[in-house]
Amino acid sequence: MTAPKLRLVVLAVLLLPCHSVGAADTSANLVLVTMDGVRWQEVFGGVDVDLIEDERYTRNPELLKKAYWREQRTERRKQLFPFLWSVIAAQGVLVGDRVQESYMEVRNRWWFSYPGYNEILTGKVDRAIDSNDKNWNPNVTFLEVLNRMEGFKNRVLAFGSWDVFPYIINTQRSGLPVNAGFTLATPAATEESRWLNELSAEAPRLWPTVRVDFITNGYAMEALKHQLPRVTYIAYGETDDFAHDGSYDRYIDAAHRTDLMLSKLWTWLQSSPFYRGRTTLIISTDHGRGNTPDGWAHHFSGASAAKLGVKDAPNGAPGSNQIWLAAIGPHIQSGGLVKGHWKQSQIAATALASLQLDPAKLMPQADKAMEELLR
């Protein structure tokens, strides 16, 4: 081959879109979402009639039945999670339906929040993380790894309803901006963020450490619109707290409203020239819940029961290690349910792989990506 021809070939290769030559997609973005303690039973089966009819948990069974109960399982789940079962089921993937040979579980031995979020964000289990206390996480999350990289620096943001997220993401070390708990936006650069700060003071404080999700969602959407982060983590929290309160009505209502927020988030991403067609959305949860009416309100393992001295439930809440995941995006398969076995510790590497990065290089300690979901 003569020199001029070679130059032409090189030029042609350089002009090709990057994914067609197998190079990293330098424009890929990610939104990771967690819905605290939402069970796979509701995600794949819709509302649970045993819990609707249990007067310990449901105040107005007729209202809940009318809104969400349908005979067919497929219709029932779509009624509760219309975004998951229309857009994601058609254009993305879901895993964790144990009725259909799809299994996902936490690897940590505790089955509650901090160990779960640590597992999701760092890709491994740290046996020393055995409480929800506000301890600075010694482990590095994939968010922190990305924030150190060129192209992502200062373009990684996190929002959470629970006030422990700054510790889980270790803002002290990572320097990542985490707006969580009852934190206001500072500086409040836009009119909407000033309004959200006002609403934060006016919204009901239902729990001491968790704010209502529409505030978290509002701050996240505002940041997406004005700061164009490449990686955004949104951690919704209401579902878990309403469940601990023993309110199935409100747990279901919160789950449905979160699905609505995700629908609006995805629609907005697809309307944005910056995000459209090059943004992955991954949705999962920190733990499941008990799989019986007696156990559903809580989530803890036998090891947790022993540690906490819970004598009447030595096995914890069986089933609360069972989780699920949904994903959609340019590097994610389509076609709905995928059969197989996965662990929560695979989410970090999957997130990195969805950005066309090599998790084995960036986080060699993390468990491997969920290859079956990627393309």
Which residues contact Zn ion (rule: CB under 5 A)?
240
CB of 299 to Zn ion, least distance (A): 6
In the chain, the amino acid numbered 65 is K
ω into 187 cis (within 30 of 0): yes
Q: How far is the CB of 56 from Zn ion (least distance, A)?
A: 18
User: Among residues 105 and 240, whose Cβ is nearest to Zn ion?
Assistant: 240
Nearer to Zn ion, 142 or 242 (CB): 242
Q: Give the residue with the Cβ less far from Zn ion, 164 or 363.
A: 164
Q: How far is the CB of 135 from Zn ion (least distance, A)?
A: 17
Q: How far is the CB of 241 from Zn ion (least distance, A)?
A: 7
Phi, psi torsion values for 102, nearest 5 degrees: -125, 120
Give the nearer residue to Zn ion in terms of CB position, either 255 or 369. Answer: 255
Left (φ > 0), alpha (ψ -120 to 50) or beta: where does 286 sit? alpha
In the complex, minimum distance from the CB of residue 170 to Zn ion, in angstroms, rounded to a whole number: 21
For Zn ion, which is the closer residue by CB, 22 or 208?
A: 208
* Closer residue to Zn ion, CB minimum distance, 120 or 157: 120
Closest residue to Zn ion, judged by C-beta, is 240
Please, what is the minimum distance in Å from the beta carbon of residue 276 to Zn ion?
35
